[in-house]
Structure 1
Amino acid sequence: MPEPTPLIECVVNVSEGRNAATLEAIATAISAVEDCYLLHRDVGPGAHRTVFTFAGPPEAVFAGALAVYEVAAARIDMREHRGTHPRSGAVDVCPFVPISGISLEEVAARTRVLGQLLAERFDLPVFLYAASATSPDRFGLEQVRRGEYEGLAAKLQLPEWQPDFGPSIPHPRLGATVMGARPFLIAWNINLAPEATLAQARQLAGRLRGSGTKGRPGLFPGLKAIGWHIEEYGRCQVSCNVVDPDNTALARVYLTAVSLADGMRIRVTGSELIGLIPERHLRAAARGFCFEGGYEEEMETAVTVLGLDDLGPFNWRKRVLEAVYRDAAQTDRRSQ
């Protein structure tokens, strides 16, 4: 059997969620790279952040990532940035995810090459995290990003927080960037009814996430979560990264959140997917609610039981990674 064609995904998080012209310039730059397919754009005006998901052969995807940094360097100024999401730079975090035909270690090696190039080209501090990390204390994004943009200058003065590449002072407009290779994670927010307070959202997040709160471990080791308020929705959310989706079922997290919220006298109204999701994890959500059926039936059931249409229409055909990539590649072939 022939080896599968190497295929990777980049899920770059940019600290811009309000300037449509800048977001369109980034999307255009990604799409201009041959064999690099822009699969999804998730714009968050309240968080002042946008997630671009693109995929293709490694060479094309890394070229697409470089194009993102080039546009950000020309158009984003962190000195003017205000938003609810933690961040330390214009291109805040740039993860690369192996999909097929390439190992996590091979992708990590490529991130180091790109990191050095970015540092030299933009005079930008670059931190490596996850599988690319150069020390254990840089493995988690939350440790690397702690202090955010406003605390970056002081952090870079500490011997233990020298960047992997680039200067020991922040770029005034771009801040710093974090990049690395990692397995797939699911970015997903649990919606609370408008009467829930920020303190309650934070309390619920602490109960759910693996790190827990106040020295007590939480319920799901494969889950990271924070509570926040999103002005555009007029409500609080528990913002989640499911970092071990194979062992952290969405259905179980959701049902647990519903139960805990009920005990706090608040309500979970649904959830919000950020970016794309592998089809197996969405189908597993339906089965987690004891439903088994055909492919489309399971997808529709998962949308319903997780309340993914709570904040607006949700078309799973445009949010499942494999389906979106197939459609993008077929469209590209037809246009040639």
Structure 2
Amino acid sequence: MLKMMLTCCKVYISESRNRSALESIEQAAKLFPRAPIINKFEDVAYNRVGFTLVSELAPAPSSEPCHLKSAVSAMVKAAFDNIDFEMHCGTHPRLGIVDHICCHPLADASLDQAAESARLLAGDVGSNLQVPVFLYGAAHEEGRPLDSIRRALGYFKPNSSANQWVGGPKSNLLTLNPDSGPSQVSSSKGVVVIGATKWVDNYNVPLLSSNINAVRRIAKRVSGRGGGLPTIQAMALEHGEGVIEVACNLLDPIRIGGDRVQQEVESLAREEGIPVGKGYFTDFSQEEIIQSYLKLDPLD
């Protein structure tokens, strides 16, 4: 049986309100139909959008260009051309206009192949677009985790009142050396973090409360880091008036999925006397993404 080797790339951009900018970013990707956008998830409260692209890997050895790298690089350039990081405002943390790019292997592809795609992309973005790029996960030679980069660069600390993130960095000096690109950061662009990992689901649970400290306690107790569910990362983020979400990364969704996270949040929220809404995923499952890709005609 012929193996199917696919790489998925999720691109998170710090903008969801500028329609013309988002259209320009999508048009840039459409120039590379063999790496189509499978899903787009917009969140106005967070002022953030996530794009999911998929492409088939050419059998090795091959001189065929990497369509996924080309499509994502074009999207990043379009984002830089149309969005000013200093004008950004939202309740989701971020480090740059293009805040985060993650590559995942799908079907018969390996994590090493996804990591190579991430490294190629990082080199392209850093060198050609002159922005500091940090690698994590399998794309980094020491397997550096994503949250360690974010902690070092101040990702988890709001830089404005009411738990808002506004504008760009106040200093152009970096506390970490980038893996690609310049060693100084532009306040209009920020930095880009690119990595490769096994599949990760994102699941957010809304709590009907304005008590950020109480929801932070819940998020900490849910997360593996806080002694809660292993393979779960969680943080509390304001999501509109009277709603705070426990936003979760499910690092091993087969082992611990959204239903288990929902139950745990509901249990902990009862102790705080806080009503809980139904959680939601911010993307398709990996099986749904594969099926959506296979249904597309790459020449459309």
1:25 and 1:228 map into 2 onto residues whose CA distance is 28
**Which has the larger share of helix?**
1
Aligned to 2:182: 167
1:81 and 1:35 map into 2 onto residues whose CA distance is 32
2:140 aligned to which of 126, 133, 141: 133
**Unmatched 5+ residue regions in structure 2?**
58-65, 156-167
1:186 to 2:201 alignment = yes
Provide the TM-score with structure 2 as the length reference: 0.86
- Structure exhibiting the larger radius of gyration computed from Cα positions: 1
1:71 to 2:78 alignment = yes
1:150 aligned to which of 147, 165, 169: 169
2:286 and 2:104 map into 1 onto residues whose CA distance is 12
Indicate the SS of the match to 2:74: helix
The 5 Å alignment of 1:41-56 reads 41-56=40-55
Aligned to 1:258: 266
Confirm or deny: 8 A CA contact 2:103 2:117 kept in the other structure: no
2:284 aligned to which of 260, 276, 284: 276
Structure-2 change in CA distance of 1:264 and 1:238 (3 Å): same
Indicate the SS of the match to 2:278: strand
Confirm or deny: 8 A CA contact 2:170 2:187 kept in the other structure: no
2:289 aligned to which of 321, 326, 334: 321
Confirm or deny: 8 A CA contact 1:86 1:145 kept in the other structure: no
2:188 corresponds to which letter in structure 1? R
Aligned-residue offset at 1:242: 0.7
Alpha-carbon deviations, 1:1-46, whole Å to 9, x = none?
Answer: 22x1321111100111110111111112212212122111111111
Aligned to 1:199: 213
Aligned to 1:210: 224
Aligned to 1:114: 121
Aligned to 1:10: 9
1:153 and 1:248 map into 2 onto residues whose CA distance is 40
2:114 and 2:169 map into 1 onto residues whose CA distance is 31
Aligned-residue offset at 1:152: 6.3
Aligned-residue offset at 1:153: 3.2
Indicate the SS of the match to 2:236: strand
Aligned to 1:241: 249
1:174 and 1:8 map into 2 onto residues whose CA distance is 26
Confirm or deny: 8 A CA contact 1:208 1:220 kept in the other structure: yes
2:17 and 2:35 map into 1 onto residues whose CA distance is 25
2:290 and 2:171 map into 1 onto residues whose CA distance is 38
Aligned to 2:28: 29
Aligned to 2:232: 223
Aligned-residue offset at 1:63: 1.5
Aligned-residue offset at 1:115: 1.3
1:179 corresponds to which letter in structure 2? I
Aligned-residue offset at 1:151: 6.1
Aligned-residue offset at 1:196: 5.0
Alpha-carbon deviations, 1:105-154, whole Å to 9, x = none?
Answer: 12212322221222111111110011112335xx2222212314526634
**Unmatched 5+ residue regions in structure 1?**
280-319
Alpha-carbon deviations, 1:35-75, whole Å to 9, x = none?
Answer: 12211111111111100011122422221111111101211
2:268 and 2:170 map into 1 onto residues whose CA distance is 34
Provide the TM-score with structure 1 as the length reference: 0.78
Indicate the SS of the match to 1:269: coil
Identical amino acids, percent of aligned pairs = 28
